[in-house]
Structure 1
Amino acid sequence: MSTVLSVKKRESGHRSTLTQLRKGGAIPAVIYGYKLDSTPISISAKEFKKSIQKNGQNGVFSMELDGKKVNVVVSEIQQCSLKDEVNHVDFLAINMSEAIEADVSIRLVGESVGISEGGILMQPNLEVKIKVRPTDLPEAIEVDITKLKIGESITVADIRDAIDFDIISENEHILVTIMAPAVVAEETVASAQEQE
C-alpha cells in the first residue's frame, strides 16, 4: 500500500466544469465512507492509471485529503466505452481493521477437458462478492477448470470451502459452464427427428 494518491477538492458542479477537468487531464471523483462526508474531488488521470496498474483495481490506496491520510478502495469506475477513458471514480474510505464487501474477479486457470473435446466455455458471472479485511483483499480468485467436462458447471458452492474468504454471493451463482457445441446439438436434434 505504498501508493499515495494526491487529490484536490473540487466544486460539485456543472457539466462544463467536469468537461474542463477531463480536458485538463484530471478525473472527477467522489470520496465517501468511514469518518467522511461525501466529498467531490479530482485526481490526475495519469496518476490514477499508474496506481491501478501497480496496485490493481482491488488494491488499498492511501489518499491525502485536507492534510490527512485516508485509506480508500475503488468502489466504482465509470468508463467511456468509445474512448476507453475513465469518466468518474467513486472511492470508499475504509477502516483497515474492519471487513469490507468487495466484488472480486474470477480468473480461470487450467485447460478444461470439455474444451479439448470441442465444448464451448461460458462465463456468465465474472465476479463474486466477498467479505474480507482490506489488507487481505485479493486481485482475483483463481478457479481451476481442468476437470470440467461438457455439460458441467462450477458454482460458488463448489469453491466456497476451497478459498479463505467469506463469499457473500449465492451458492447457485454460476461461475463457468462448458456447453456442448451448437453443431453437435443440431445434429442430435436432426437425427432424433429422422428416427421419429
Structure 2
Amino acid sequence: MKIEVSAKTRNVQGTGASRRLRRSGWVPGILYGGKEPALPIQVEHLALMNNLKHEAFHSSILTMDLEGRKEQVLLRDVQMHPFKKQVLHVDFQRVAQDQKIHIKVPLHFVNGENAPGVKLSGGIISHVMTEVDVMCLPKDLPEYIEVDLSHMNVGHSLHLADIKLPPGVEAVALHKGDNPVVATILVPRGAAEEEAVEGAPAAAEVPLVGGEKKEEKGS
C-alpha cells in the first residue's frame, strides 16, 4: 500500500507560532535523518488524521511530497492532545535505501478458528503481542507479518522464533537473545473450574461421639 503525505516547510517556530498553526488547521512537525539537517515542516491536520486511521501509515515507507520534492520517509512519532482529537506534533524520518531501518510491524493472526485447541477443545486465543520490532533494508519492509495459528492446541504457546519472517527481515528480540510468547490458547474458564472440581479429593465420613457423623475433606 503506497501512501503519500504532503508537507510544507515551516519558517516560523516557537510555542506561539505552533498554536497559530494549529488553529489554522495545520500540524507542526520535523523531518530528520539522512545526510541532510533536520527540517521544520507542517502538514494538514485533516489529511494527517485520515492517514493515522490506516495501519499501514504507521509501519510502511511513506512518500512525502515536500513542495514538489518527493522523499521516502517513516512516521516516527505522533503527539496527541490529552483529551481533544487533535495532533499536536508529528515526526518523520528520512529513509536511506542502503541503511537498515528499525520499526514495529503489525502481526496479522490467521486460521485461529481452525486451531485444534479452539475447534476441538473450545480454547480461547490470547494475542500476547500485536506487533513485532524488526530490522531490515527499506526494500524488504513488509506491511505486516502473518502468524498462522492452525496447529495450536490448548495450553500451547507460539513463540517469536516459531514465526516465519519474510526474507531479509530480522526480529530485534531474537537478535538480543529473547524469544517472547506471541500467542497462546487458554483453557476456557468454565472447563478449568470443572476440571478443578473433578480433581478435588472426595469427602470422608468421620464418626463422632453419640453416633453422629460429619464430612471431613481428605487431605
Structure having greater relative contact order (Cα 8 Å, sep ≥ 6): 1
- Is 1:120 equivalent to 2:124 in the alignment? yes
Residue 18 of structure 1: how far off its partner (Å): 3.6
Question: Structure 1 residues 23, 159: CA separation in 2 closer, same or farther (over 3 Å shift)?
Answer: same
Kindly provide the CA deviation profile for residues 48-106 of structure 1, in whole angstroms up to 9, marking residues without a partner as x: 34556496332222324477543211112334575554443221111122221111010
Going from structure 1 to structure 2, the CA distance change for 1:107 and 1:78 (only over 3 Å counts) comes to: farther
Which residue of 2 is the match for residue 23 of structure 1? Answer: 23
Q: What is the distance in 2 between the residues matched to 1:82 and 1:115?
A: 39
Q: Which residue of 2 aligns with 1:156?
A: 160
Separation in structure 2 between the aligned mates of residue 33 and residue 140 of structure 1, nearest angstrom: 24
Residue 150 of structure 2, aligned match among 146, 149, 156: 146
Write the distance in 2 (CA, Å) between the matches of 1:143 and 1:17: 46
TM-score, normalised to structure 1, is 0.81
Whole-angstrom CA distance in 1 between matches of 2:26 and 2:95: 24
SS of alignment partner, residue 46 of structure 1: helix
Q: Secondary structure at the match of 2:58?
A: coil
Q: Which runs of 5+ in 2 are unaligned?
A: 203-217
Aligned to 2:210: none
Of 50-59 and 82-91, more deviation after overlay is shown by 50-59
- The answer (yes or no) to whether the contact 1:3–1:51 under 8 Å persists in 2 is no
Give 5+ residue unaligned stretches, structure 1.
none
Q: Which amino acid counterpart does residue 199 of structure 2 have in structure 1?
A: A
Q: Match of 2:4, as an amino acid?
A: T
Match of 1:185 among 173, 192, 196: 192
Aligned to 2:79: 78
Percent identity between the aligned chains? 27
Letter in 1 for 2:109: L
- When Rg is computed on C-alpha atoms for both structures, the one with the higher figure is 2
- Pick closer, same or farther for the CA change 1:55–1:143 going to 2, 3 Å: closer
Amino acid at match of 1:92: Q
Query: How many aligned residue pairs are there?
Result: 194
Is the CA contact 1:101–1:130 (under 8 Å) kept in the aligned structure 2? yes
Q: Structure 1 CA distance, aligned partners of 2:11 and 2:116?
A: 54
- The correspondence of residues 1-196 of structure 1 with structure 2, limited to 5 A, is 1=2, 3=4, 5-9=6-10, 11-14=12-15, 17-51=17-51, 53=54, 56-65=57-66, 68-80=69-81, 82-110=83-111, 111=113, 112-116=115-119, 117-160=121-164, 162-164=165-167, 165-170=169-174, 171-195=178-202, 196=218
Contact 2:27 2:42 in 1 (8 A): yes
Give the secondary structure class of the aligned counterpart of 2:163.
helix
Q: TM-score, normalised by structure 2?
A: 0.74
Runs of 4+ in 1 over 4 A off after TM superposition: 49-55, 64-68, 80-85
- The alignment yields a C-alpha RMSD, in angstroms, of 2.8
